[in-house]
Structure formats: structure tokens, C-alpha cells
Amino acid sequence: MSSNTADLNPPPRILLGAGPANVHPRVYQAMMAPILGHLDPDFLHIMDETKSLMRAVFRTQNEETIAVSGTGSAGMEAAVANLIEPGERVVVCVAGFFGDRIAEMASRYGGEVVRVEAEWGRIIEAEAVEAALKAAGRTKLVAIVHSETSTGVHQPLEDIVRLAHEHDALVMVDTVTSLGGCEVAVDDWGLDACHSASQKCLGCPPGTAPLTFSPRAAAALRSRETKVRSWYLDMTLLDNYWGGKRAYHHTAPMTMVYALREGLRLVLEEGLEARISRHLRNGQALWAGLGAMGLTLHAQEEYRLPLITTVRIPEGIEDLKLRRALLYDHNIEIAGGLGILAGKIWRIGLMGVSSSAENVLAVLQALEQELSAQGFRLEKGAGVAVADRVLSEG
């Protein structure tokens, strides 16, 4: 019996939302390589190369560096599951949707969660973490999001890491959005557990989550009194597959590992510093253009994230109507708000391949057209002109 479905033909969107971002052609090409067995020596060699590339991008020498088979949330849960035992105290910094997700995961794994909260759009202050650590007593882990996807805030880490270590706590950092687009220096910053995702600044499809554990985190894992509650995400088992014994654990998604390997190669070919500069320049041009259009940015000014810009929706503008017009009339995807910011902000992503001068100007021009169509008064062409000037000066 023949199928009535048509050939697969999704439209090639300009992805300027909160992720995924567009994928580099070389990554697609890598995914067409032949499938190998999960213990084939050639595939194990590819895994070794991918580990080495991840270490270079994370800027770490950590032996325990793997790619979790799953999205960024799987990497997050792997860090939580392996480092928290029931009854252990965990200080979680919550200033957005994904900080809240870490707190929820930590609670499900039996952690005694102490939340340090800030307004969604502002950073977590080091003084608040210090007060929580002093009040909480013995703490196993301090967890924080480096670049909060839901708010567009770029969180400084140095003082919080120092305070955590002074209280003999491990530090877990979510770099799902920032890795490959902002500075991430696992060893220099003293991060104990750091996870990310393939689909944002690394320029790959979703499906793998880079994860690295410091020697301190690895020692804490080995000294657990209870088994890791998640079998699939147990690093003691995953390490035996990604290195060491090469023992079968699960059938790895070969094409996704191929994609990650190529995405990481592209990051290093461009150069981390050059890549960070590109993302910052394009982010600054977008901020300037939006300001010239009379729009208000949401994130705390000195801590804005150039990878995801959050914009307050003007009064009288229909959120969904505008985003649908961008998608269907301009072929551009931007994201709406999450959680308490749903319906209040737009999130415009400039990550990886999607972070380009052409995309900055395209989204500003499309926004001008659709805002004007809804009656928002602005100076025609002002946003594009100002952004273009910033890009030229950069």
C-alpha cells in the first residue's frame, strides 16, 4: 500500500529565535557520512576527536568530557543527577525559566533546594549568593545559568564561583546558549560541571549536549553513597563508553556526533576570539537598531546577552500576529516570551550561523514593516540605518 504523504520539504527559514539556529552546510554534509556500529573502532576514533574538540571549545583539560545523547536539558539533568544525592543542599540561582528548571530537577533528585532569586531581566548578585550560603550551612552544589535564554541576561560568574568554593561547594553552570558565542573558560573560571547544547552557537541540529566534569566533580561522583538515580545519564556508565573500557551503554546517535564534531571544527577554525567578537558586534548593532525604532530592551543594560536580545512588546501590538507575519511573510522566526514573560517580550536570537550582519538588517526591516502595519509610529528606515552604521564601524 502506497503512502499518501508528500516528499518531505520543510521551508528554509531564517532562524532568529531562541534556538535552534541555522545549521552550517558543512554540518549537514557531515551528517550524510555512513553510519557505523556504536563500537566500531572508526566510530570510537571519531568520539575521541569529538571529545578533544569539546575540550578546546570549553577551554578545559577535563578528562570527563562527553556529549550526552539528548538536548541541552539532558545535559542539565545529567549534571544534576550525578552530583546530587538525596538530602544534600543545593543553592540554585533563579532569574529566569532555565534557572527554575535546574531547581525543579534538583528537587526531583532529592536535593534540598535553596533558591536565590532575582527579577527576570536582572543578574543574580554575588552578595545574595553569599547570604544564602551562610544561611544554608553545608552546601553540595551551587547552580547557575551563564546566559539565560528566557531573559537575555549574561550572568557574571567569577565572584559566585569564588564564594561557592570558599564554602566547599561545587559549581554547576549552564552554558547552553553561551558556548561558542561568548567567552566560556571552564578551567580558568573553576567550573566543576558545565553543560551546553549543540543547536545554538555551535551551529548544529539539536540532539547532543556537551558536558564536562572537573576533577573535583568527578571525585564527588566517585564518592557517592547512593547510585545515580538515572541509569541513562549515569556518568560512571557513560564514561566507560566515551573512554576507558569502551563498554556498551547505548546506541549513540552517530549522525549527531558527526554533526557536533563538524560544528566544533567550524568554531575553532573561525577562532574563539573572532567568533565572540562577531556575536558581540552583531548583537550591538541589533540593540542600536531596535533603540532607534523606539523599542525598549528588557535585559539589564550592562549585562545584555548579544546572542539573544529581549525586547518589550509595545502597548497595543499583538504579539502572535506580529510573529506570524514575520514567519509567513518574511520567512523569519523570532521567539516569544517564556513563563512570566510570555506575551511581554520578544526574543531575537543571533547565534552561530544565524549571527550575521545580513540577518540583523533583515529582522530590523521586517519588524519595522510589521510594527507599522499594526499602527506603531516609528521613523522609516531608522533602525536599519543605525544598525548598518554600527556594523560598518565594527
Query: What is the reported pTM?
Result: 0.96
Q: What angle do CA 266, 270, 274 make, to 5 degrees?
A: 140
How far apart CA 335 and CA 42 sit, in angstroms, is 40
41 or 245, higher pLDDT: 41
Torsion of CA 214, 218, 221, 222, to 10 degrees: -160
Which residue bears the cell 536580545? 309
List all residues 6 or more positions away from 214 whose beta carbon is below 8 Å from its beta carbon.
60, 62, 186, 187, 190, 191, 192, 193
Domains, the chain, ranges and CATH? 25-269 (3.40.640.10), 271-393 (3.90.1150.10)
SS (H, E, C) 226-247: CCCCCCCCCHHHHHHHHCCCCC
pLDDT at residue 1 in the model = 54
Nearest to 21 by CA among 55, 67, 72, 56: 72
Does the pLDDT value for residue 113 go beyond 70?
Answer: yes
Query: What pLDDT digit, counting tens, does each position of 28-80 carry?
Result: 999 999 999 999 999 999 999 999 999 999 999 999 999 999 999 999 999 99
pLDDT at residue 245 in the model = 86
pLDDT at residue 21 in the model = 98
Phi, psi of 383 (to 5 degrees): -60, -45
Query: What pLDDT digit, counting tens, does each position of 369-391 carry?
Result: 999 999 999 999 999 999 999 99
How far apart CA 15 and CA 335 sit, in angstroms, is 9
Mean pLDDT of 237-250: 92
Phi, psi of 153 (to 5 degrees): -100, 135
Q: What angle do CA 26, 40, 28 make, to 5 degrees?
A: 15
Does the pLDDT value for residue 232 go beyond 90?
Answer: yes
Mean pLDDT of 196-206: 98
Query: What pLDDT digit, counting tens, does each position of 168-193 carry?
Result: 999 999 999 999 999 999 999 999 99
Query: What pLDDT digit, counting tens, does each position of 299-357 carry?
Result: 999 999 999 999 999 999 999 999 999 999 999 999 999 999 999 999 999 999 999 99
Nearest to 90 by CA among 121, 123, 129: 129
70 or 2, higher pLDDT: 70
Chain-wide mean pLDDT for the chain? 97
List all residues 6 or more positions away from 1 whose beta carbon is below 8 Å from its beta carbon.
none
Residues 297, 383 contacting (CB under 8 angstroms): no
